[in-house]
Amino acid sequence: LMARLHDQHGLVLPELDLGGGHAIAYRPGDDALDPTSLARRVRTELADACASAALPVPRLVIEPGRAIAGPAGIALYRVLAVKHSGGKVFVAVDGGMSDNPRPALYGVRYAPRLTGRNSTAAPARVTVVGRHCEAGDIVASDAGLPADVRPGDLLALPAAGAYHLSMASGYNLVGRPPVVAVRDGLARLLVRRESIEDI
């Protein structure tokens, strides 16, 4: 592309922006962006291609928004109900596709964790579902949670910092959740929970 722009229009690009959308690890074992490795690999290939086309090597830029913001956020859900049906376990929580449509839209797979209490129960495979009247309101499928998960428990959903809330809506009249910053054990409310009057 750079060679074609130069040949057809006399343009020499000083910067090449590879954009964003780079992967993050939503679950243990998922691949994540290694910016140093990516930069080295692209820089080497770019230098070779520029040398072949007699062009200067442009400054290389990426937009790692999700790679930075994603791991910084954790969504907390309260368990509302646990249902056993057809040999499967469904754990219903107080959020879902209104505050995080990514599983329904893109098939993002999260690994929720029980938080707020210790459990010695054996792990069980469960489907964590949202509170909306939609068959696709699945927060996490085939997730490993303690078999004694029960109403009132809190589930933490790591890697929820990118797009989770920016894509949220007031769907089904479910208000957006609050946003709380935690640093050195101290919590500070950044955005209050949406009320029905807000919606």
pLDDT band, residue 35 (cuts 50/70/90): confident
- Check whether 155 has a pLDDT greater than 90: yes
Nearest Cα residue to 160 out of 69, 93, 30, 31:
69
- Check whether 32 has a pLDDT greater than 80: no
Average pLDDT over residues 175-179: 90
Spatial CB neighbours of 182, under 8 Å, sequence gap ≥ 6: 188
Q: Which of 133, 135, 186, 196 is catalytic?
A: 133
What residue ranges define each of the domains in the chain, with the CATH number in brackets?
2-66 (no CATH), 73-173 (2.40.37.10)
Average pLDDT over residues 99-124: 93
Q: What is the pLDDT of residue 199?
A: 78
pLDDT, tens digit (0-9, with 9 covering 90-100), for 59-68? 988 888 888 8
Nearest Cα residue to 161 out of 95, 77, 66:
66
Yes or no: say if 96 and 79 are a contact pair by the CB < 8 Å rule. Answer: no
- Check whether 90 has a pLDDT greater than 80: yes
Measured in whole angstroms, how far is the alpha carbon of residue 113 from the centre of its chain?
Answer: 15
Q: What is the pLDDT of residue 20?
A: 82
Tokens 């797009």 correspond to 163
Nearest Cα residue to 108 out of 67, 151, 159, 63:
159
pLDDT band, residue 166 (cuts 50/70/90): confident
Mean model confidence pLDDT for the chain: 91
Annotated catalytic, 133? Answer: yes
- Check whether 22 has a pLDDT greater than 80: no
Average pLDDT over residues 143-166: 93
Tokens 């893109």 correspond to 106
180, amino acid identity:
V
Q: What is the pLDDT of residue 128?
A: 98
Yes or no: say if 93 and 153 are a contact pair by the CB < 8 Å rule. Answer: no
Strand partners, 124: 145
Global pTM reads 0.81
Strand partners, 156: 76, 113
